[in-house]
Structure 1
Amino acid sequence: MALKNALIALMAPLPSIFFYISFLNHYQNDQHLLSPLWNWCYRHPLILANTIFFLNIDVGFWLISLLQSSNWMIDLYWTVIPVLLAHYFASHPDGEYNMWRSAVVVGLTWVWAVRLTHNYLRREKWQWGAREDWRFTDMAQQHGQNWWWVSFFGVYLIQQVFLFGVCIPLYIVHTVNKPVNIWDVVASIVCICGIIYAYIADTQLYTFVTKNEKLKEEGKALVPNLNKGLWYYSRHPNYFGEQLWWWGLAIFGWSLGGTWVFIGALINTLCLAYVTTLVEKRMLKQEYRVESYKMYQKTTSIWVPWFKSSPIQVFKDKDC
Structure 2
Amino acid sequence: MDPSYFTQVGKSLVSTLLADIGVQVIGWSISTFLQTEKFYDLAGSISFILCTFVSLYKPWEENTIWADSRSMTTLLRSIHPRQIIASGTTVVWAVYLGSFLFSRALKHGDKRFDKIKKVPGRFLVYWVVQGIWVALTALPVYISNSIPASVHPDLGLQDYIGIVLWGSGFAFEVIANYQKQKWRKEIGRDYKRSFISSGLWSLSRHPNYFGECLLWFGSYLFCSSAFYAALESPNLIMSHWMSRLAVFSPMFVTILITRVSGIPLLERENDRRLKDVVAYWKYKKATSMFVPTLPRQNVE
Interval containing the TM-score (normalised by the shorter chain): 0.7 to 0.9
Other-structure match for 2:176: 201
What is the distance in 2 between the residues matched to 1:81 and 1:59? Answer: 11
In the TM superposition, 1:96-245 aligns within 5 A as 99-124=80-105, 129=106, 132-137=109-114, 140=116, 147-153=119-125, 155-176=126-147, 177-179=151-153, 180-213=155-188, 216=189, 224-245=194-215
CA contact (8 A) 1:225 1:292 kept: no
State the SS of the aligned residue for 1:283: helix
C-alpha root-mean-square deviation of aligned residues, in Å? 2.8
CA contact (8 A) 2:23 2:43 kept: no
Other-structure match for 2:289: 302
CA contact (8 A) 1:194 1:241 kept: yes
CA positional deviation for 1:221? 8.7
Runs of 4+ in 1 over 6 A off after TM superposition: 220-223
CA deviations on 1:157-201 (whole Å, 9 max, x unpaired) are 111111110111112212332222211111111111111111110
What is the distance in 1 between the residues matched to 2:95 and 2:191? Answer: 35
Other-structure match for 1:36: none
User: Unpaired segments of 5 or more residues in structure 2?
Assistant: 1-7, 65-77, 228-242
Q: May I ask how many residue pairs the two structures share in their alignment? A: 257
Decide which of 232, 250, 255 is 1:270's aligned counterpart. 255
What is the distance in 2 between the residues matched to 1:292 and 1:131? Answer: 26
CA gap 1:52/1:115 in 2 versus in 1, 3 angstroms = closer
What is the distance in 2 between the residues matched to 1:43 and 1:281? Answer: 41
CA positional deviation for 1:133? 2.6
Other-structure match for 2:70: none
CA contact (8 A) 1:80 1:113 kept: yes
State the SS of the aligned residue for 2:33: helix
What is the distance in 1 between the residues matched to 2:288 and 2:53? Answer: 37
Decide which of 29, 36, 61 is 2:27's aligned counterpart. 61
What is the distance in 2 between the residues matched to 1:150 and 1:240? Answer: 30
Other-structure match for 1:9: none
Higher relative contact order (CA 8 A, sep 6+): 2
In the TM superposition, 1:283-294 aligns within 5 A as 283-287=270-274, 290-294=277-281
What is the distance in 2 between the residues matched to 1:221 and 1:45? Answer: 47
What is the distance in 1 between the residues matched to 2:200 and 2:103? Answer: 19
Which moved further from structure 2: 172-181 or 115-124?
A: 115-124
Q: Aligned partner of 1:93: which letter? A: P
TM-score, normalised with respect to structure 2 = 0.76
Are 1:50 and 2:21 matched, yes or no? no
Decide which of 65, 71, 79 is 2:45's aligned counterpart. 79
Q: Aligned partner of 1:103: which letter? A: I
CA gap 1:111/1:151 in 2 versus in 1, 3 angstroms = same
Q: Report sequence identity in percent.
A: 23
CA deviations on 1:176-234 (whole Å, 9 max, x unpaired) are 32222211111111111111111110000000111122xx2xxx797612111000000
What is the distance in 1 between the residues matched to 2:223 and 2:24? Answer: 26
CA gap 1:249/1:197 in 2 versus in 1, 3 angstroms = same
CA contact (8 A) 2:27 2:43 kept: no
What is the distance in 1 between the residues matched to 2:102 and 2:122? Answer: 27
CA deviations on 1:256-297 (whole Å, 9 max, x unpaired) are 333441212212211112221111111122258643322222
What is the distance in 2 between the residues matched to 1:101 and 1:300? Answer: 37
CA contact (8 A) 1:123 1:206 kept: no
What is the distance in 2 between the residues matched to 1:131 and 1:57? Answer: 24
CA gap 1:221/1:236 in 2 versus in 1, 3 angstroms = closer
